[in-house]
């Protein structure tokens, strides 16, 4: 498992080079923008059960066969497994956002997941849809653009300093995209 710093070391070592130039600049940036990263992690982690349950509910709304006999969220045992998997995936995404590197997500969560799902009959496309909804809602939380229209009664806006969060948002988006592509 790597983070932004150990990744720079591994890259430099593979070239038997010192760390310098662009790599140092990007680590400087990692530090100076670090509070945005921590806020991003906090805004996902503090809303994770809402993000997960909303995504799984949305996935089921669009495909009600999932909760009928023969569907992969039927009976309750499978529904529970599905919600748990949503939490697992989101948790590993927060680790990746925190460390600034996808390796923890790849190695500990995605490695072999597609094969496991295929063996168990867990539908990959539906999982991808649930992850896609988690992505939309997590990015809204990072940017503090979630609105009552989507949040309904559970709408919640976190205290956060305004600023440009485009870089951390697109980085977080890339981790969700990795999950979706690993399952397709
Ligand atoms: C460390 C990382 C890690 C991951 C990622 C993980 C996933 C994981 N999900 C599983 C099952 C499952 N996963 C789902 C998920 C879903 N079903 C649906 O219809 C939806 C599309 C989807 C939710 C979005 C279901 C229903 C099962 C149970 C399948 C079964 O037993 O028939 C299983 C089989 C064992 C079990 O049931 O606990 C594993 C290993 N386990 C881990 O330790």
Cα 151 to middle of ligand 1, angstroms:
27
Query: What predicted TM-score, i.e. pTM, was given to this entire model?
Result: 0.95
Per-residue pLDDT at 38 exceeds 80: yes
Question: What own/partner pairs with CB < 8 Å and gap ≥ 24 does 140-144 have?
Answer: 141/43, 141/44, 141/47, 141/51, 142/39, 142/40, 142/43, 142/44, 142/168, 142/169, 142/172, 143/169, 144/43
Confidence band, pLDDT 50/70/90 cuts, at residue 148: confident
34-183: which CATH number, 1.10.490.20, 2.60.40.10, 3.10.105.10, 1.10.600.10? 1.10.490.20
- Mind listing the pLDDT tens digit for each residue in 56-68? 999 999 999 999 9
pLDDT of residue 106: 98
pLDDT of residue 70: 96
Ligand 1 pocket mutation pick from 60, 118, 122 by most atoms within 8 angstroms of CB: 122
Cα 5 to middle of ligand 1, angstroms:
32
Is 108 a pocket residue for ligand 1 (Cβ < 6 Å)? yes
pLDDT of residue 37: 97
Confidence band, pLDDT 50/70/90 cuts, at residue 153: confident
pLDDT of residue 157: 78
Residue nearest to atom 33 of ligand 1 (CA): 116
Spell out the domain ranges in the chain: 1-32, 34-183
Backbone conformation region of residue 146, classed left if phi is above 0, alpha if psi is from -120 to 50, else beta:
beta
Cα 160 to middle of ligand 1, angstroms:
34
pLDDT of residue 11: 93
Question: What own/partner pairs with CB < 8 Å and gap ≥ 24 does 102-109 have?
Answer: 102/174, 102/175, 102/178, 103/1, 103/2, 103/7, 104/1, 104/2, 105/175, 105/178, 105/179, 106/178, 106/182, 107/1, 108/1, 109/179
Beta carbons of 171 and 33 less than 8 angstroms apart: no
Is 120 a pocket residue for ligand 1 (Cβ < 6 Å)? yes
């Amino acid at each position: 498992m790597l983070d932004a710093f150990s990744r720079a070391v591994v890259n430099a070592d593979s070239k038997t080079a010192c760390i310098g130039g662009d790599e140092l600049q990007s680590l400087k940036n990692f530090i100076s923008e670090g509070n945005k990263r921590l806020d991003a992690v906090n805004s996902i982690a503090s809303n994770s059960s809402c993000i997960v349950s909303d995504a799984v509910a949305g996935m089921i709304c669009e495909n009600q066969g999932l909760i009928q006999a023969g569907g992969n969220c039927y009976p309750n045992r499978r529904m529970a497994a599905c919600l748990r998997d949503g939490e697992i995936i989101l948790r590993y995404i927060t680790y990746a956002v925190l460390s600034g590197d996808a390796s923890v997500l790849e190695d500990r969560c995605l490695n072999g997941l597609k094969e496991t799902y295929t063996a168990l009959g867990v539908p990959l496309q539906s999982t991808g849809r649930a992850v896609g909804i988690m992505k939309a809602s997590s990015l809204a939380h990072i940017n503090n653009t979630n609105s009552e229209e989507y949040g309904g009664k559970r709408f919640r806006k976190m205290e956060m300093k305004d600023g440009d969060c485009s870089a951390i948002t697109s980085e977080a988006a890339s981790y969700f995209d990795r999950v979706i592509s690993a399952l397709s």
